[in-house]
């Protein structure tokens, strides 16, 4: 299911980062689970491997219909993969908003609809990560 049959006899150190992520997914599937929790699984991968694994995850989800809880800081990744995007507040983490992604699949990251969702989620995230200008003024005056 995860496309690693050719590497069945390989040692972990012989696998790429993407292959190791596939092994992690296979371990979860072997336990006949109902829910998969993925915490930043593609964060350390190069862009091409990340994109391929996103496609693989979507194919796996379509075949199994398992619930996947996917934690990511990448807005585009969240919109591409999810039916719901839950935005959390900074520490302590609380739910700021629960957003339904009503885009047809496959999703086109260049479409106006996709970018509309991206802008809305970006607005929600920026609202609690940007400090007010007045808080920055004393620091700016202190610089040489």
* For the chain, the helix, strand and coil percentages under 3-state DSSP, each to the nearest 5: 50, 15, 35
pTM of the model: 0.75
Q: 30: closest CA among 66, 6, 73?
A: 66
Give me the residues of the chain with pLDDT under 50, please: 133
pLDDT of residue 132: 53
37 SS3 class: strand
Q: 49: closest CA among 5, 12, 76, 17?
A: 17
Tokens linked to 45: 């991968």
Q: 38: closest CA among 28, 47, 30?
A: 28
pLDDT of residue 143: 54
pLDDT of residue 76: 94
Domains of the chain (ranges; CATH) run 5-142 (3.40.50.300)
pLDDT of residue 112: 97
Contact 23, 15 (CB under 8 A): yes
């Amino acid at each position: 299911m995860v496309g690693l049959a050719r590497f069945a006899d390989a040692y972990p150190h012989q696998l790429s980062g993407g292959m190791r992520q596939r092994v992690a997914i296979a371990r979860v599937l072997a336990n006949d689970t109902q829910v998969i929790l993925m915490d930043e699984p593609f964060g350390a991968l190069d862009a091409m491997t990340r994109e391929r694994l996103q496609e693989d995850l979507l194919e796996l989800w379509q075949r199994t219909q398992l619930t996947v809880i996917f934690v990511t800081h990448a807005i585009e990744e969240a919109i591409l993969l999810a039916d719901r995007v839950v935005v959390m507040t900074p520490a302590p983490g609380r739910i700021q908003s629960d957003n339904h992604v009503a885009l047809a699949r496959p999703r086109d990251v260049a479409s106006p609809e996709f970018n509309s969702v991206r802008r809305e989620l970006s607005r929600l995230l920026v609202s609690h990560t940007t400090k007010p200008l007045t808080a920055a003024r004393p620091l700016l005056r202190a610089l040489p």
